[in-house]
Amino acid sequence: MNVGSGRHKSNGTLRTGQEIDRKVCSVCPSSFVVTTSGEIIYTIPHEHNIYKTTQAMTVKLKHTYPYSPSGLCLAISGGFYVTLHKEKSDGKIVRYFNEDCKDWLELTCYRERKSLLKMPTKITENGNKDVWVIDAVSASVFAINSVGKFKFEFKGSEKNFEPVGICTDCRHNVLISDFRNKLIDILADDGQLLSSIKLERLGISRPMGLCITKDGELCVGQGNGWMHFIRFSQ
């Protein structure tokens, strides 16, 4: 695997981005997604609300009490997924089929009649329509199919696994940031570990959010406010 990285640019030079727009939230969102029409959907867990911001206004899409919404991802066939958790209760995933949240499907993940989701956080949908979700309590990543059937669990390539961010690439591989071990694990869509990227040598010590850019670069957000772009090939 060839890896190159830089703060704000993959060739090792600093790139200063130009602000083209700004949306102000009353508090910091837990997660957000940008729809194909340019609208922003985001979650505020302590308010138990999911919001949508357009050019003209911000509207409340859904009040999820007593559950707190956290992670978001767009669904390939339309709508979006959201993770929800509740104190002293099992967590769950809800698929909203459209942005008005009127039609939805609730996904619960069970293995041997026991719920696997306690505090689901970040979530992504792979190209084969499997859903991958991070659970903060078990420090695991679970893969389920589109109706919630458990497929497999990933516990990290090293001890003390602390999954924080997750995304997929065009090959249907799944990339997971391990905050504590300062690395990114890359898995095939069947759960097989393909490789790991050690991040400290790239100047990344607090890997958190992940996404793949249109150019195929891996964007890694750090807890210190920096974004790093990594170009890698397998």
Whether 25 is in a domain gets the answer no
Whether 200 is in a domain gets the answer yes
Whether 19 is in a domain gets the answer no
pTM for this prediction: 0.87
* pLDDT one-digit tens code per residue, 119-177: 999 999 999 999 999 999 999 999 999 888 999 999 999 999 999 999 999 999 999 99
Cα 181 from chain centre: 18
Q: Which residue has the higher pLDDT, 74 or 3?
A: 74
DSSP result, 20-86 = ------SS--S-EEE-TTS-EEEEEGGGTEEEEE-SS-EEEEEE-TTSEEEEEEE-TTSSEEEEEE-
DSSP result, 91-142 = -EEEEESSTT--SEEEE--EETTEE--SSEEEEEE-TTS-EEEEETTTTEEE
Averaged pLDDT, 66-80: 95
Averaged pLDDT, 47-60: 91
* pLDDT one-digit tens code per residue, 76-99: 999 999 999 998 889 999 999 988
Whether 18 is in a domain gets the answer no
Find the domain containing 119 and state its range: 2-8+30-233
What CATH number corresponds to the domain at position 207? Answer: 2.130.10.10
Beta carbons within 10 angstroms of residue 37's beta carbon:
7
Does 193 have pLDDT greater than 90? yes
Q: Could you give phi then psi for residue 22, rounded to 5 degrees?
A: -145, 135
Whether 23 is in a domain gets the answer no
Q: One-letter amino acid identity for 227?
A: M
Q: Which residue has the higher pLDDT, 85 or 216?
A: 85
